[in-house]
Structure 1
């Protein structure tokens, strides 16, 4: 992707597939999507699971995104998800579509004016939505937000192809993370927790009434199971997947 950006070449969907296959973590996906957003001259992206009818906020359904935190907060505080014309359309179709905040009638007039002003403030007025799903059938979408000129049919076709691969790869990564969590023992998790708290092996040994050798053994096993190269990386990954807090 970096080469494409430096060369100023027109992106094509197939240009990104090999790179997507090499992504190993959710943060890798985040960086990839951030780069893709820049390549297509957009301002933000979001990968989201299709919210259930009972859901009232966008943030809990977003998998990863780089929307401005203030925008997300206001969006949910105002309860805009329940009346979202985008969400209504996503429930009716699996085809990609473009949504123009100002040009598309939505909601009651007062709320519509508020939404237009809100998204204009963050220069996110034109969206492309790319519905997709994972192997389990979980539906979702990849979206790009911009204030650029309309997306061309060729761009939408390429982005749709990319979105299918990104959503599938992200599902694989999340599945691997779940398996890792299941594989670690309670003692390994305890040692990771205390390491995250800044304790040395000797201090952890005293806290858990273990030998320092045993603590090191648990930490080494946890590091291997998490597919990381050292304790620091193991703790970082354990935090990311919610294994420790």
Structure 2
């Protein structure tokens, strides 16, 4: 039996698939789908079509549409996916962590402006890196209190009453949440498994598309690229200055410009961002 596997840039999940049988080991759910006997008929064709086409989708809007089409059988009407920001992150910065979304605009405004993200019980469960869960399970949590109940009730006012969330983890250790919502969501183990599989592939592609956009915006000079490469090789400003035949102050200026362009807090962060955006290799 031949297996084809894909490890996305997001590092979300490693999912094996084969031509006649699909095994989904995702978020604690292991599902055997025998295509010959059609044991899992709902959405299987759409799922396989999505997995085949996802690498060819070139913008976030089309990716969002494709995800919803692939999960429509499970009652999915809206999706939201992004990295989980640190506690205390400003609303404008929180929005930058979102990669895919067609949440109601009014709800998104309330959610981020009022800091509801930090009271959202789905976020708490994502941070525990638990298996894919239905929102209906949250009310059974021991720490589900007044604030959490208010968040869920407010979301319901915007037709976000039922849903499933897939917790994922990126290669650099960041927590990711991928939520599916609708009036009536199928939260069976089989549906959760398929949604987890689709979420991992979709988020991986979303990260690639975001990195492509950022890379196109970053304009490093040839000297700045060379400086980054030498920093990555462990050279100090003085050593790089000797290599270039300039003062270490001139190198420090290049480093400062690089950090500003990449939004990096220090040299190590700048190198990490450069590798992530494939500006250096």
Tell whether 2:195 aligns with 1:159. Answer: yes
Q: In the alignment, which residue of structure 2 is the partner of 1:24?
A: 58
- Kindly provide the CA deviation profile for residues 179-231 of structure 1, in whole angstroms up to 9, marking residues without a partner as x: 3223699xxxxxxxxxxxxxxxxxxxxxxxxxxxxxxxxxxxxxxxxxxxxxx
User: Normalising to structure 2: TM-score of the pair?
Assistant: 0.54
> 1:87 and 1:149 mapped to 2: Cα distance?
19
Offset of residue 138 of structure 1:
3.5
- Candidates 196, 205, 217, aligned match of 1:169: 205
> 1:64 and 1:96 mapped to 2: Cα distance?
18
Tell whether 2:117 aligns with 1:81. Answer: yes
- Kindly provide the CA deviation profile for residues 163-193 of structure 1, in whole angstroms up to 9, marking residues without a partner as x: 11111111122222223223699xxxxxxxx
> 1:64 and 1:149 mapped to 2: Cα distance?
19
The answer as to whether partners of 1:83 and 1:107 remain within 8 angstroms in 2 is no
Structure 2 unaligned segments of length 5 or more: list them: 1-40, 222-281
Q: In the alignment, which residue of structure 1 is the partner of 2:20?
A: none
> 1:184 and 1:134 mapped to 2: Cα distance?
26
Map 1:95-110 → 2, pairs under 5 A: 95-100=131-136, 103-104=139-140, 108-109=145-146
- Candidates 32, 54, 74, aligned match of 2:88: 54
Higher relative CO (Cα under 8 Å, sequence separation at least 6) belongs to: 2
The answer as to whether partners of 1:127 and 1:146 remain within 8 angstroms in 2 is yes
Map 1:100-179 → 2, pairs under 5 A: 100=136, 103-104=139-140, 108-109=145-146, 111-112=147-148, 114-179=150-215
Aligned residues: 176
Tell whether 2:48 aligns with 1:11. Answer: no
> 1:53 and 1:95 mapped to 2: Cα distance?
22
Q: In the alignment, which residue of structure 1 is the partner of 2:4?
A: none
